[in-house]
Amino acid sequence: MQAKCPGWRAAFLFVVLFVGAWSGAAFGNVDKHTHSAVAPLPYPKALQPQVEFWTKIFATYSEYQVVIHDAVYLDKVYAVLDFRPLLKEHSEAKVRKLKAKRTKQELGKTRAALRKLHKHGAKGRTLSAREKKIRALFRDVKERHKFRKAAAKKRLRAQSGIRERFHQSLRISGRYLPRMEKIFRQKGLPVVLTRLPLIESSFNIEAYSKVGAAGIWQFMPATGRLFLTINHVVDERLDPLIATRAAADLLKSNYDKLQTWPLAVTAYNHGPAGMARAVRKLGTRDIAPIIRRYKSRTFGFASRNFYAELLAAIEVEKNSAKYFGPIKRDPLLQYDEVELQHFVSLENLARAANTSTERLVALNPSFGSLVRNGKLHVPRGHRLRIPAGARKDFTRRYAALSPRAKADQQVAAFAFHKVRRGQTLGGIAQRYRTSVRTLQGLNGLRSAHLIRIGQRLRVPLRGKDRRPTTRPVQVAGAASQDGMHIVRPGESLGKIAQRYNTTVAALQRLNGIKNAALIPVGKKLRISANSPDKATARYVKHRVRRGQTLGSIARHYGTKVSILKRLNGVKNVKRLQIGQVLRIPTG
């Protein structure tokens, strides 16, 4: 692919990326020593169209703009759809629906035009305006059947802009980047590699991907366990600074194997074995021909563009004032660290630190839900972060804790459940009043759908006697005072069961219902074998912070979105307000 910018611009970009010392200056050097960490990242000229494309996606196009483009030649942009004017007349939800619908229509029209150009040739007098534009776009592409190939499903793409999210990620990054840069310097790695979270997670510490990657560095469980502790007590992928050390080790390992940073960075997405296979197959370590010529089922669009995205992110951050105006970075996260000599509950540690459990979790985001809700203790040997300046008072209060508060071993909080025919992980989670995600974490399950008959699963125990319950869970305030529910129009037994966190079978058993599909409007249903005792209902309050969703808050406390919606009267999960106070069940 030929660069289309003037020569001076290419030279400018080349110089910018080969002056490595800038990255530490953005926030001030945390340590004063100079390492090979100032080494630059190569910027192959052949990648310039990709870098320019992603620069626009990061810094120019809004989330309400969609770029219709070719997946191989990223400079071939068919159309840019702008849905921002619709926000003046419609809600965001409505605009998102219109965006999806019209984007699909535009893809169809573009594909039809490409197929027509392939079938009937490119004679100007028979072409529409759209077809003439496409013909002009591909004038410099010299290959057979170029229009038919461009019409293929994987070639024709729609990409939304992320300008707003990128802007926010630059602001959030101020909390962590100076320490991240220090870690990379100490390990002798280019500090510009600390910008990978800009494209991996937008510096969202609670980021989870649909395939199980977590944290700002988006470690998959299998890869993460090579460098981090990931279990039912802590998931160090979620701690930005601990995960940064692991990411540095992984990138260094990739570089030692592949010998170039473009390959090592791409291997962060595609895997070092895959990139080594590409090198062997093509006989080159040059990233540009590998991107252009290497064919593999798993080497898709994301892998081919990963290095170019990083170069674009570096470019946008370095020139952030040009793209976004002045950005006030969040202040660097400040804290003291103490190493625990005992197993201690989060509540007692918060008391010793003279702070809230929420603040302690914010400083120590690796804690699992079982630690956060008090079912397990923070383990001995853990380096606990506490508010800055609190070390002296913490040491005194910690020493004053009763001997019972400082255990020599972890509390027993598990039982084993043997999977029976017909059971699902969701049903088992419901029986033990926990979440599917918690069971997956406790048992190392990659998929919630892959459990087998006879398999022994660890399940968390609840209550003072640590025994599981097989009775339906009573949610305070959900049923009437006599433990009854009156069926309303449009309700099914399944919806009612979901509302009260119980099962259809339990409701049928309690109410003598033979056919779950036949429940008349106005019928009174018993929800629990016993009337609810509202005095036993326990809650904590959570104040919504920037970037949090109802899903991330539910995961944080080991509960369900449906329960939080019901307890707090939330109708639209996408309309949480910063500062909004939510009730969170603790029992």
3-class DSSP string for 428-487: HHHHCCCCHHHHHHHHCCCCCCCCCCCCEEEEECCCCCCCCCCCCCCCCCCCCCCCEEEC
**Residue 40 predicted with pLDDT over 50:** yes
Arithmetic mean of pLDDT, 432-439: 83
Amino acid 54: pLDDT: 98
| Residue 383 to residue 364: CA distance in whole angstroms | 9
| The predicted structure's pLDDT at residue 485 | 80
Q: What is the pLDDT of residues 275-287, one digit of tens each?
A: 999 999 999 999 9
Centroid of chain to Cα 296: 26
Identify the burial level of 389 via C-beta atoms within 10 angstroms of its C-beta, where 0-12 means exposed, 13-18 middle and 19 or more buried: exposed
Check residue 295 and give its pLDDT.
93
Could you report the per-residue pLDDT of 233-282, keeping only the tens digit for each? 899 999 999 999 999 999 999 999 999 999 999 999 999 999 999 999 99
Instruction: Provide, rounded to the nearest whole percent, the portion of the chain with pLDDT above 90.
Output: 54
Residue 517 has pLDDT above 80, yes or no: no
* Residues 357 and 309 sit within 8 Å (Cβ to Cβ): no
Helix axes 261-270, 301-318, angle to 10 degrees: 120
Sign of the alpha-carbon dihedral angle for 431, 434, 435, 438: negative
Q: Domains of the chain, with CATH numbers?
A: 335-405 (no CATH), 414-460 (3.10.350.10), 484-534 (3.10.350.10), 538-585 (3.10.350.10)
Amino acid at 575: R
What's the distance, CA 152 to chain centroid?
A: 30
Question: How far, in Å, CA of 195 to CA of 311, rounded?
Answer: 9
Tokens matching residue 401: 């804790």
Which residue reads 């007692």 in tokens?
348
Q: What is the pLDDT of residues 478-501, one digit of tens each?
A: 344 356 787 765 567 766 776 676
Task: Report CA-CA distances (Å) from 279 to 43, 271, 285, 336, 458.
Answer: 19, 13, 6, 46, 44
- In this structure, what token pair is assigned to residue 553? 């808050």
State the chain's maximal CA–CA distance in angstroms.
Answer: 90
Give me the pLDDT at residue 275, please. 96
pTM for the structure as a whole? 0.68
CA trace torsion 278, 283, 289, 293 (10° rounding): -60
277 burial level (CB within 10 Å; 0-12, 13-18, 19+): middle
The confidence score (pLDDT) of residue 209 equals 86
Q: Amino acid identity of 560?
A: K
In this predicted structure, which of 54-63, 156-165, 451-460 has the lowest mean pLDDT? 451-460
Contacts of 11 (CB under 8 A, 6+ apart): none
227: helix, coil or strand?
Answer: coil
Q: How does pLDDT run across 149-181, given as a tens digit for each residue? A: 999 999 999 999 999 999 999 999 999 999 999
Q: Give CA separation, 335 vs 244, 354, 542, 551, in Å.
A: 17, 14, 22, 27
Query: What rounded mean pLDDT belongs to the chain?
Result: 83
Q: Give bridge partners of residue 235 from the DSSP assignment.
A: 230
pLDDT of residue 31: 36
How does residue 521 score in pLDDT terms, banded at 50, 70 and 90?
low
Contacts of 54 (CB under 8 A, 6+ apart): 305, 308, 309, 311, 312, 313
Listed residue (484, 485, 475, 479) closest to 567, CA to CA: 475
Res. 413 pLDDT band, cuts 50 70 90? low
pLDDT of residue 43: 94
Whether the predicted pLDDT of 337 surpasses 80: yes
Selection from 464, 250, 230 nearest residue 368 by Cα: 230
Helix then strand count (H, E) for the chain reads 26, 11
Tens of pLDDT, residue by residue over 373-407, are 888 899 999 999 999 999 999 999 999 999 889 98
Measured distance CA(301)–CA(258) in Å, rounded: 21
pLDDT exceeds 70 at position 509:
yes
Find the helix or strand (DSSP H, E) in which 101 lies.
Answer: helix 92-120
